[in-house]
């Protein structure tokens, strides 16, 4: 077990313990500090303190970091909704609530677990926890995602994603009535400094992000919008729509609205994916039908 030791300095006196430790290291979020405190792994002068303990000059802080257990991805029969499959690629219609690959808090029932059960081989470029995965969509976003069965296909699709010849189209219901028929949001996205689980439009440690949108239908207080991504940043559509004041209906992170529609799930769907097949070089477009809850929302809004 790794141990980290700090001596509280004069300029830190009077601050909360969790705040001081977060400032000392970018590796610690406040939630992680609280977790370690709850486990009795942080001591101040050999005593366990609460996260709101006000530190004193000369306090000796010791943090014990438990060894990280290696995650393993294993096959699970998840009855994947397969749109297309051949010897090189497989295109899935991902359901709401499914995480793409295993990670902290999501060790199983991910898309990778389902792929390992269904496929004999997957590309190994992204390691044992992300076999076959060349791009991701969010846990609560539904629709098209492609995985690769060999490294040749993986490299080819990755290159297409990089040079923007692999295109992804999304559709969403947003809060508010968008006044423009179409437009482009060009705003860099980076990690939110106040919440490490969120992204935000910022000029600090950010990457370029470009989203094109078009209004498909307007309802009373809501709009059905289609999107084409020019870049593929984490939570890109969700962050950009919040940024311009029209957050995605049902978005648990970026929509602060509270309507009956929000209880039915995040209304964001990857409706189509176009790529050049890595072996045949044929341009192929795959489409995923809207999930039932999404179609029901549209009909409900039309009824207004």
List, by residue number, the catalytic residues.
138
DSSP state of 290: P
- Contact criterion met (CB below 8 Å) for 302 and 219: yes
DSSP state of 116: H
Give the side-chain half-sphere CA count within 13 A for 10: 0
Q: With CA atoms as reference, report the closest residue to 53 among 15, 25, 22, 6.
A: 15
Q: With CA atoms as reference, report the closest residue to 219 among 165, 283, 274, 298.
A: 298
- Contact criterion met (CB below 8 Å) for 244 and 177: no
H-state helical runs in the chain: 17-24, 30-38, 111-118, 151-163, 236-243, 292-302
Q: With CA atoms as reference, report the closest residue to 144 among 106, 174, 120, 170.
A: 170
Look-up of token digits 């297409």 = 160
Q: With CA atoms as reference, report the closest residue to 93 among 84, 81, 105.
A: 81
- Contact criterion met (CB below 8 Å) for 132 and 154: yes
For CA atoms 35, 39, 40, 41, the dihedral sign is negative
- Contact criterion met (CB below 8 Å) for 67 and 9: no
Q: How far apart are CA 6 and CA 101, in angstroms?
A: 36
Name 167's bridge partners: 274
């Amino acid at each position: 077990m790794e141990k980290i030791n700090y001596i509280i300095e004069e300029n830190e006196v009077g601050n909360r313990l969790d705040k001081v430790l977060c400032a000392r290291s970018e590796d610690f979020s406040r939630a992680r500090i609280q977790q370690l405190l709850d486990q009795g792994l942080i001591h101040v002068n050999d005593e366990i303190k609460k996260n709101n303990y006000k530190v004193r000059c000369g306090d000796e802080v010791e943090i014990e970091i438990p060894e990280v257990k290696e995650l393993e991805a294993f096959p699970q029969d998840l009855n994947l909704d397969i749109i297309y499959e051949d010897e090189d690629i497989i295109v899935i219609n991902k359901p709401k609530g499914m995480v793409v690959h295993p990670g902290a808090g999501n060790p199983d029932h991910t898309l990778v677990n389902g792929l390992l059960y269904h496929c004999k081989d997957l590309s190994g470029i992204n390691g044992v926890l992300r076999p076959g995965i060349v791009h991701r969509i969010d846990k609560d976003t539904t629709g098209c995602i492609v995985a690769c069965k060999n490294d040749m296909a993986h490299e080819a699709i990755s290159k297409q994603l990089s040079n923007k010849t692999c295109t992804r189209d999304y559709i969403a219901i947003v809060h508010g009535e968008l006044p423009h028929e179409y437009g482009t949001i060009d705003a860099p996205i980076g990690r939110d400094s106040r919440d490490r689980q969120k992204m935000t439009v910022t000029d600090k440690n950010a990457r370029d992000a470009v989203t094109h949108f078009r209004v498909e239908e307007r309802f009373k207080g809501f709009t059905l919008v289609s999107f084409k991504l020019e870049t593929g940043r984490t939570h890109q559509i969700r962050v950009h729509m919040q940024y311009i004041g029209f957050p995605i209906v049902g978005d648990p992170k970026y929509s602060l609205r509270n309507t009956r529609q929000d209880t039915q799930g995040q209304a964001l769907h990857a409706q189509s994916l176009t790529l050049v097949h890595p072996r045949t070089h044929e341009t192929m477009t795959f489409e995923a039908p809207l999930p039932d809850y999404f179609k029901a929302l549209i009909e409900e809004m039309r009824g207004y």
